[in-house]
Amino acid sequence: MNASAWQMLLEGAWTTVWISGISIALGVVAGLIIALIRIAKIPVVDQILVLYTSLARATPLVTLTLFIFLSAPTFGINLDRNVAGILALTLNTTAFNAEIWRSAFRNFSRDQREAAMAAGMTPWITFRRIMLPQMVITSLPGLINEMSFLIKGSPAIAVIGIVDLTRVTNRISAVTYEPLPPILVACVLYMAVIGCLVWLQRIAERQANRLAV
Amino acid sequence: MPDANPSTAGHRENDRSGATAVAIRNLSKSFDDVEVLRDVNLEVKKGDVVTILGSSGSGKSTLLRCINWLEQPERGSIHIAGERIGMTDEGRAMSVKALARVRAKTGMVFQGFNLWPHLNVLHNVTEAPIHVLGKSKHEAETHARALLEKVGMSHKMDAYPNTLSGGQKQRVAIARALAMQPEVMLFDEPTSALDPELVGEVLAVIKDLSAEGYTMVIVTHEMAFSRAVSDQVVFLEKGLIIEKADPETFFTNPSTERVRKFLERND
């Protein structure tokens, strides 16, 4: 592999990281919002979200990506392929994150909530000051798990022409006729990114232990 | 009898003897078809200590939890320092915000401590004063330090709840409730979850508070303690108050056979 192959690989890695990163950030926040709306049990809205969750969880990422990219023009929207990729990844991961947040909320200690209410906290203050900080810590292992699934599923966005870390190995071997070296490097780069997440997860779990009263 | 001496009860400058801290009128409550409270009437004067006794299932914890609306009674009314809790004067359910504001006039100590594990001892005590009463961080912390000193926990200010013993947790919980400068302190079996050797340190703190003129309603199984701190002892049986007396009368010469039996068994 020559210098330009290395550069292509790093560019591919960067594409994977930034597109996944934005999707993860959006997905974690959107998941929380959806979880809270579902806990409020608003009629109709709740049913729509249940439908969304089951659809998003049942659809393969490649199919979802293609569907979003190809259907956008029908609605008169000219979707940039990166935006379509981010949208597909976000829609997918949000559904899983919403379930993680929802279970953290449902399992939250009733005793602690009563202590907050007894101290005159409104439900909003109770959520923001007492529940959310602990929900973040207890959900983090699950959320990080979902993040690494998203990164490992991200090559799906290559289907609409985004040159991510996996796709770029194809391009390199098309020129060099040596498929093995670039794919090996790609594996190592994926492992490095996932390794960072695993490391974060370990810290999160240590934090969570402190909450076990 | 601990009178509300203004020099010792500095937390309540406008204390007038005879004023009512809690007024419970015709309170009834059922869980499914079981009546747990039946037409309960009780008045707690400012500066008084009322202990509620009764066997388990008599409704005493439910009565206490109605006072700050953690349980909602079906009938009757509760006033905290003259203000009705839970319902508006027109009989409608209070808004969430209004309810929280009245609840802030009560402080509650739970059987299971219910500290917030993500906050250290100091912040457990300052959390509600800052975010409910709107105190400044500095003001809340100064007050919290004094209260933690009072309950003998100032050496554990930076510790997290999971590193404390049960007795220590409960003393922090007492400081947390006091920090709201409540009109009335509610104790729900504060020593029932403690190892026997830790009960004393918690009871000693509550005794100190009674000597300082705090208004308290205490659900307990500790007879000697009840006798020592109470101005009024209430005995609950199947949701009914069947005896209400000063501690001397209650423990030496109760008027009902039921209480006499209860006291014999708990001797």
Residue type, B95: S
Decide if A40 touches B, using CB distance below 8 A.
no
Decide if A133 touches B, using CB distance below 8 A.
yes
**pLDDT tens digits, one per residue of B158-170:** 999 999 999 999 9
Reference A11, options A195, A194, A172; nearest CA is: A172
Neighbours of A193 (CB within 10 A): 18
Class for domain A3-212, per CATH?
mainly alpha
**pLDDT at position B130, please?**
97
Q: Which residues of chain A have pLDDT under 50?
A: none
Closest residue to A122, CB basis, from B97, B110, B161:
B97
Contacts of B68 in chain A (CB under 8 A): 117-118
Please report the number of interchain residue pairs, chain A to chain B, with beta-carbon separation below 8 angstroms.
Answer: 83
CB contact under 8 A, B96 and A122: yes
Q: Which residues of chain B have pLDDT under 50?
A: 1-16
Strand B184-188 and strand B216-219: the pairing is parallel
With b for 16 or more beta-carbon neighbours within 10 A and e for fewer, the A142-161 pattern comes to bbbebbbebbebbbbbbbbe
Reference B169, options A92, A111, A19; nearest CA is: A111
Element (H, E) at B232: strand B232-237
Element (H, E) at B260: helix B257-265
Contacts of A121 in chain B (CB under 8 A): 100, 128, 131-132
Reference B177, options B119, B115, B108, B118; nearest CA is: B108
**pLDDT at position A2, please?**
87
CB within 8 Å of chain A, chain B residues 139-158: none
Asked if B105 and B79 count as a contact pair (C-beta separation under 8 A), the reply is: no
Mean pLDDT over all residues of chain B?
92
CB contact under 8 A, B68 and A118: yes
**pLDDT at position B17, please?**
57
- Write down the domain spans for chain A: 3-212
CB contact under 8 A, A119 and B114: no
**pLDDT at position B56, please?**
87
Neighbours of B37 (CB within 10 A): 27
Task: Give residue for tokens 């905290």.
Answer: B80
User: Angle CA(B172)–CA(B184)–CA(B242) in degrees, nearest 5?
Assistant: 115
What is each CA distance from B21 to A31, A148, B33, B104, B255, in whole angstroms?
A: 46, 57, 31, 14, 27
Query: How large is the C-alpha radius of gyration of chain A?
Result: 20
Counts of helices then strands in chain B (DSSP H, E): 9, 10
Reference B76, options B36, B37, B25; nearest CA is: B25
Neighbours of A63 (CB within 10 A): 12
Q: Report pTM.
A: 0.88
Decide if B134 touches A, using CB distance below 8 A.
no
Chain A residue with minimum CA distance to B112? A111
**pLDDT at position A201, please?**
86
CB contact under 8 A, A115 and B116: yes
**Tokens standing for residue A4:** 């330009």
Q: Percent helix, strand and coil across chain A, each rounded to 5?
A: 85, 0, 15
Decide if A207 touches B, using CB distance below 8 A.
no
**pLDDT tens digits, one per residue of B4-33:** 443 333 344 344 457 999 999 999 999 988
